[in-house]
Structure 1
Amino acid sequence: MKNLKIAVILFNLLLFFSSCNKKGETQEVKSELTQVENQTTENLQKISLEIKGMTCEIGCARTIQSKLSKEKGVKSAKVNFENKKGVVEFDANKITKTEIVEVVNQIAGGDLYKVIKTSKSE
């Protein structure tokens, strides 16, 4: 009788601990699946912008670059004052080309800069 009680207690403990371990594994798998889904949903694209109205490197080019870099969905932005061009890498699922152009055109109330041409960039 005493052995039967011990066997039942051991069986219940074994059942309890084995069910706890499986729950943790399930959470890990869900977390990994979520990370993989987030990685595969990015639609990275690059565009080149020809920008009119820049008069200096620090005040103009860096300002445009900074504003673009802060936008949600923009991965990187580089603006070259000498060439009057910028290259923007962005996630097309989060921001559109039109929205990127509007960001530049609306800096300083829309009076200073204008994107006059866009093209795909490699």
Structure 2
Amino acid sequence: MKTQKIFTAIAIACFILTGCKTEKKEVKTENVSLAISGMTCEIGCAKTIQSKLSKKEGVLDAKVIFNDSIANIEYDANTTSKKDLIAFVDGIAGGELYKASEASHKKAHTCTEDCKEKCEMTADKKECKEDCTMACCADKKA
């Protein structure tokens, strides 16, 4: 009788373990660049928006570039959408400070370490030198 209870308990445990498998949802990754107006500082505004976006359900990665007023967001299209992300940014800080819209398809300017070094960029000076011929500075010149 005792062995029958043990076998029954093992059988129930096996059914529970095999029956509780979670299905993996396929992630449909998409990217969007949002132009954000109303940011006045890098730490209080840009970092706050980036932090809140990173915590939003469906957002896989978020980078807010203060100097360009752009948020580059990688997200799961099964969970959220461009429209939801724009509304989310618009609603940060009570909805009165920031206004987001889909940016043009031009890639935001990001400098490599090599470029920063050759253009003598520092924390205070983030602009490319006038005579810089690096490809990364080409889109920063008029």
Q: TM-score, normalised by structure 1?
A: 0.67
SS of 2:68's partner is: coil
Match of 1:30 among 3, 16, 19: 19
Q: Write 1 or 2 for the structure with the bigger share of strand.
A: 1
**Of 76, 80, 89, which aligns to 1:104?**
89
Would you say 1:54 and 2:39 are equivalent positions?
A: yes
**Structure 1 unpaired stretches of 5+:** 1-11
Q: Secondary structure at the match of 1:77?
A: strand
With a CA cutoff of 8 Å and minimum separation of 6, indicate the structure with the bigger relative contact order.
1
- After TM superposition, where is structure 1 displaced by more than 4 Å over at least 4 residues in a row? 118-121
Asked if 2 retains the 8 angstrom alpha-carbon contact of 1:45 and 1:90, the reply is: yes
Q: How high is the sequence identity, in percent, across the aligned residues?
A: 40
**SS at 1:93 equivalent:** coil
Q: Given the alignment of the two structures, is residue 14 of structure 1 paired with residue 3 of structure 2, yes or no?
A: yes
Structure of higher CA gyration radius: 1
Give the alignment's Cα RMSD to 1 decimal: 2.6
1 CA distance for matches of 2:102 and 2:83?
12
Which has a greater percent of helix?
1
Provide structure 2 residue ranges, at least 5 long, that are not aligned to the other structure.
Answer: 108-142
Q: TM-score if structure 2 supplies the norm length?
A: 0.60
